[in-house]
Structure 1
């Protein structure tokens, strides 16, 4: 298995920028719930550049495309070029893996499942996609990848990344589409003491909680936001966003969410689903 390595910065920590659930279309005016997703994605990238955020790598946690087209993935690749850092990505339930490959070979984007982050951390990227349905599962091969990588690198603080949420977020409609074999995932995680955090996309909202001693993190979408703690489908008035994560040599993780200023890119609040 090929391993990519991201070098640590001068302070000895690793800084990651998470961008997720861009839902891009081939058409420039393609819209999800009335939000033109290419425009909101480009606005997020522009705001990150305007704020002069410092980071060592980009983490893209799925649902990159909404229409499955090769062009939509090429638009993502072009869109992140100004960020000028290596990007590690994985598929979400809306993605078409064959067309994700349309961006390769790419100097910036990598689909490697195991990444060494400096001297003290590793990142394991899992594919939780079940083709044709919104919920997720991890195959035996993916669970073995997780188990074996954690066992082979017990001295590395570990960040586990996947698209689907492995804990319930408190919204009945959204929790139908969780990682359906989450208990098997957590059984593997609990065999090891080096997992510090699990990071996902999918839920289009800010989540930062603890589960069985592990920090569990989800991140706002670059387009529409789902209203937290809503039994039925509902959209939030929060702006599109991203997440910053800083990983320290002693295993600490600090994180915060950034958002576009003002009430930009408001969705169709009358919608009852998508």
Structure 2
């Protein structure tokens, strides 16, 4: 208590207001209070990486920024999918092709073709939105045929096939239940009959041809294109008597 009183005596000054009949004390703070130095906070376990040190302290599958903070090594910012001075630039794009050594999986050590496909799709989208001239000094040597066929099947065809199989199964079940309700023919009887097999194939082919509602507009455009010249030819004879009509008379 004595120490507290002595330390606060310099920080607090008491004065009695003049012209007051009551005994009151006004306390005013001054700038004479002692300054307490704040000690540096000790880093927590998550900040110092636990018991690990160096590159391992950044954590599993850490990014370049996290590894740089853990090791203290300054990492140059990577150039990824950029148009610099009218040229495509990417640290993974070397001599007009993707450097496949930079697309290896951390688990298997082999080339992750999904990452290559992602990079190529992003590159083409960037060049589509920002067209740049082609020059002989920087030819494009990468060909998508270098990507194995099974990578394309796994990436695009298998998900699409799974979706189409599910739709065909649902539509086939609904149509079979409808036929059963009308004719009384069960599922086995429908599959053994000619009409049942024909209806099954028509259902599957219809699902393959019309996958989304946008396909209807596509087929409509094809029909309009196929009949465009006939319509144009017939329009030239509007109000004009055709020779074939004169011959008939």
Bigger radius of gyration among the two: 2
Which range, TM-score by smaller chain?
under 0.3
Higher relative contact order (CA 8 A, sep 6+): 1
Greater strand share, structure number: 1
Greater helix share, structure number: 2
TM-score scaled by length of structure 1: 0.20
